[in-house]
Chain A
Amino acid sequence: MTDAENTRSYKLRIWRQPDATSSGRLVDYEISEVGADASFLEMLDQLNENLVKKGEQPVAFESDCREGICGACGVCIDGRPHGPVTHLTTCALRMREFKDGETIVVEPFRANAFPVVKDLIVDRGAFDRVIERGGYISVNAGSAPEANMLAIGKDTAESAMDSAACIGCGACVASCPNASASLFVGAKIRQMALLPQGQVERTGRALAMVQQMDAEGFGDCSNHGECEAACPKAISIENIATLRREYLRAAFRS
């Protein structure tokens, strides 16, 4: 069946908030002729076209790659970051997952450290500031040794890649009852701690990143495990265990 033949209608309740300082509220909309193969964001595009034509303000939401890798998109759909399908970003979610006539509630990611900018857009600058404090290996361009001087076991490289796969979308924070960023921070710390290149700065990195994470107002982790379930890249909660170990190790040494 083609997209055109298989269309649906939905009732939408969408969070509208003009800017960071105003208060927001849920507003009801109706939409019809949504293709089953359309993505969730394409459905919102379609709504926005309709709103503009009626002289209303379109809904602001963030996206860029629209294929699940840039981490720009992300809204709460019926209370779940990125919606009902596990391990998918909002942009990769398809409307065939929703029943015809269903009511869908769409809200921004909620966390103290992620203030709303407008409608469904939040400010995730806190993530950048945590990385700024040490989420890298300090190497100036030009000073790197020949790449194959360093043999790294295939398993180690693969395991580091598992952590490095994080797209920085913030769903882990939005899903956590404490709004903790432990999964995000743990993933970066684990990637670097596994690799031989990351050893020199290992101690300082763990201390500085955790300190910044706390300063940004993210909550503590109390092992709810919601973050792993909400993560579109299925980053394992094991990364949080590593974060704890690395922090203790660093605190002990410093």
Chain B
Amino acid sequence: MDVEIVDGSLHSGAPDGPIETQWDRHRFDMKLVNPANKRKYNVIVVGTGLAGGAAAATLAELGYNVQNFCIQDSPRRAHSVAAQGGINAAKNYPNDGDSVWRLFYDTVKGGDFRARESNVYRLAQCSVNIIDQCVAQGVPFAREYGGHLANRSFGGAQVSRTFYARGQTGQQLLLGAYGSLMRQVDAGRVKMFARREMLDLVVIDGHAKGIICRNLVTGKLERYVADAVVLATGGYSTAYFLSTNAVNSNATAAWRCHKRGAYFANPCFMQIHPTCIPLSGPSQSKLTLMSESLRNDGRIWVPKKKGDARPPADIPEDERDYFLERRYPAFGNLVPRDVASRAAKHACDEGFGVGATGLAVYLDFADAIERVGHENVKQKYGNLFDMYEEITSESPYERPMRIYPAPHYTMGGLWVDYNLQSTIPGLHVIGEANFSDHGANRLGASALMQGLADGYFVIPYTLGNYLAQTTPGEATTDDSAFNEAEANVRGTVDRLLAARGKKTPREFHWELGRLLWDNCGMSRTSDGLKDTGAKIRSLRDEFWENVHVAGSGEELNQHLEYAGRVADYFELGELIAIDAYHREESCGCHLRLDHQSAEGEAVRDDENFSHVAAWEHTGDLSKPRMHREKLEFENVHLAVRNYK
């Protein structure tokens, strides 16, 4: 599996000089669009989650004409709505030692030194403005008795910098952005296109100028033209079939952009979240996340005896292995996600797992209940406990929860420079869809922060810089590039409908998910990865011959929509495997069993792999070209992550 490797072709474009003033200097250096001219520019924003919703609203506030797209029936339902835990910001309200610098440092280190320093520093800087903006919008964050904003520690952070609105932070932040967006719809500056799926990018003379959408109600293909395109279409965890993501989450838009020339960076960096409700049956469609905050008070354990089938209450204290507390005495149950997930998998692989499938560990609140009382635990976690009981019909007050890791977040995504522009000029990528800020592992409560930073505070400036250098209204939908892109989409739709085979897209997706989970999941091996690509390829060939898609293209057809997303996952899946194979080190979420210490901890190879692997589509899915962006660490010194 040899691939061509290119060095020196990618430049972040971040300014030199002290990191603290980079963004200020860059903002000064960027070109501005004259206020009177802004209304002449049209911008397409695909996605209405925190990133897309915030970007569309803010660009419209500045005076641009925005066309905004989403798959759901309403922008308010974007997947961001499901985030529970909270959003980080370096406000230092608790006076406990936080600062922009510390948030920057924690994020670079948490990402296991595989993120770009300049972007992360800017993210930490913008974090403080986000909270101001959201409070002004009326987001009802939790407050202290004195009326000021409350914070909690989250995901193992040593300071309390997480803002939250009960267990519904994502929903409240999204409704804030949605409100701002609706205000611009009312003002006529945003035109909202719900129930549309972007199926191709239109590139004219090397610049992104439009998109092809399928109208999900009528089935008709539609053309939209603009002076620039902003992609905010979220992550691709659902490639693994079962994940914590919403069922309509997909990689389609990002993947089609990749095939038009946008490089895909670090596709194998996929976060597996440690605390999810385990799989219970074959009909299951997703895995439900139990908030990370539970690890603040819950203790994780398995029986010391393999295959011990006694009910948890009958297993005496000295026959339990609190494996996180044992292996990581300093952080205990609060180690970062990747470390916690791996330890749970390890326990289960060794035969210590619990529950009917043996693929679960206990998360136990008995001690917490004894320490602070039933009422206090209920106040803190009541809604999560109820949710768990609804799903499993077991009460966490009486019996420890059973949890297991699940695919949750993708750090990988389309490559972007400091301006969040992809390798296609005019195509900017924000939120989870880009690769930029979290390296090989994302810290809890940092995705919401990134989505809103990108949408409210970065793209309004950097897109302006691009637009200032283009003439508005140059492209039209009659351009031959539109004809070609539409024909391309139609070809795929027709091909899916024509196969009329024997297996459903869901059956194929399930098989693909198993391949990815087994080989590109929590622990990976060179041997396993070597032929994963080939296996995916042959399954993909079978898919195109033997898939059965119901109905026609000229109607509301959810089955067809789903089949198209699975088809793209088959292509992305192969790239995930290729990327994982070629990263011959362990870092963050990416644990290669052939690169670990004697104690089973990840071993990075900074000399050879301190880079972003950005893949170029060559026309041959099995032979992508790798472009390496070298990562320099001038401010946070390379160090081994140690949570012992």
Identify the A interface with B (CB < 8 A). 2-4, 18-19, 34-35, 37-39, 41-43, 45-46, 48-49, 51-53, 55-58, 60, 62-72, 88, 92, 94, 96, 117-118, 121, 123-125, 127-128, 131-133, 135-148, 150-154, 157-158, 160-161, 164-165, 167-168, 191-192, 195, 197-198
B288 proximal to A (CB < 8 A): yes
Interface string of B53-65 (1 = CB under 8 A from A): 0100110010000
Interface stretch, picked from B106-114, B136-144, B309-317, B512-520, is B136-144
Report how far A125 CA is from B217 CA in the complex, Å. 13
- Nearest chain B CB to A36's CB is how many angstroms away? 8
A-B contact count (CB 8 A): 232
CB–CB A167/B556 < 8 A: no
Q: Which of A64, A128, A141 contacts B61 (CB 8 A)?
A: A141
Interface stretch, picked from B68-76, B330-338, B470-478, B569-577, is B68-76
Nearest first, the 4 A-B pairs at minimum CB distance are A136-B179, A151-B147, A3-B281, A144-B136
Q: Which of B91, B136, B285 contacts A66 (CB 8 A)?
A: B285
Q: Which of B178, B247, B282, B555 contacts A64 (CB 8 A)?
A: B247
CB–CB A148/B93 < 8 A: yes
Q: Which of B74, B129, B179, B281 contacts A144 (CB 8 A)?
A: B129
Return chain A residues, CB-CB under 8 Å to B54.
Answer: 141
CB–CB A65/B246 < 8 A: yes
- Given contacts A67-B288, A161-B165, whether A128 and B140 have CB atoms under 8 Å apart is no
Return chain B residues, CB-CB under 8 Å to A92.
Answer: 387, 390-391
21 chain-A/chain-B pairs, Cβ below 8 angstroms = A4-B281, A34-B283, A35-B283, A52-B504, A53-B504, A63-B247, A68-B387, A70-B79, A70-B81, A72-B77, A94-B391, A117-B556, A124-B73, A125-B194, A127-B74, A132-B186, A141-B61, A144-B133, A144-B136, A154-B145, A154-B147
Report how far A36 CA is from B204 CA in the complex, Å. 54
B558 proximal to A (CB < 8 A): yes
Report how far A60 CA is from B73 CA in the complex, Å. 14
- Nearest chain A CB to B161's CB is how many angstroms away? 13
A49-B506, A121-B556, A146-B132 known, 6 other contacts, Cβ within 8 Å: A118-B555, A128-B182, A137-B138, A154-B144, A157-B143, A164-B165
- Nearest chain A CB to B491's CB is how many angstroms away? 23
Chain A residue nearest to B550 (CB atoms) is A52
CB–CB A38/B283 < 8 A: yes
Return chain B residues, CB-CB under 8 Å to A46.
Answer: 283
Most chain B Cβ neighbours within 10 Å, of A64, A92, A147, A157: A147
Return chain A residues, CB-CB under 8 Å to B639.
Answer: none
B131 proximal to A (CB < 8 A): yes
- Nearest chain A CB to B130's CB is how many angstroms away? 9
Return chain B residues, CB-CB under 8 Å to A140.
Answer: 58, 61
Most chain A Cβ neighbours within 10 Å, of B81, B178, B185: B81
CB–CB B135/A147 < 8 A: yes
Size class of B's contact patch? Answer: 35 or more
Interface stretch, picked from B10-18, B168-176, B431-439, is B168-176
CB–CB A144/B81 < 8 A: no
Chain A residue nearest to B181 (CB atoms) is A136
B149 proximal to A (CB < 8 A): yes
Q: Which of B142, B390, B558 contacts A88 (CB 8 A)?
A: B390
Q: Which of A42, A142, A145 contacts B284 (CB 8 A)?
A: A42
- Nearest chain B CB to A138's CB is how many angstroms away? 6
- Given contacts A125-B73, A137-B179, A144-B129, whether A43 and B283 have CB atoms under 8 Å apart is yes
Most chain B Cβ neighbours within 10 Å, of A46, A132, A141: A141
CB–CB B76/A71 < 8 A: yes
- Nearest chain A CB to B141's CB is how many angstroms away? 7
Report how far A154 CA is from B617 CA in the complex, Å. 53
- Nearest chain B CB to A16's CB is how many angstroms away? 13
Q: Which of B134, B180, B285 contacts A41 (CB 8 A)?
A: B285
Q: Which of A35, A123, A191 contacts B140 (CB 8 A)?
A: A191
Return chain B residues, CB-CB under 8 Å to A45.
Answer: 283, 285, 506
Interface string of B261-285 (1 = CB under 8 A from A): 0000000000000000000111111
Chain B residue nearest to A166 (CB atoms) is B175
Return chain B residues, CB-CB under 8 Å to A198.
Answer: 138
Chain B residue nearest to A85 (CB atoms) is B390
CB–CB B143/A154 < 8 A: yes
Report how far A66 CA is from B387 CA in the complex, Å. 12
Return chain A residues, CB-CB under 8 Å to B559.
Answer: 48, 52, 58
Most chain A Cβ neighbours within 10 Å, of B73, B82, B132, B175: B73
B8 proximal to A (CB < 8 A): no
CB–CB A152/B281 < 8 A: no
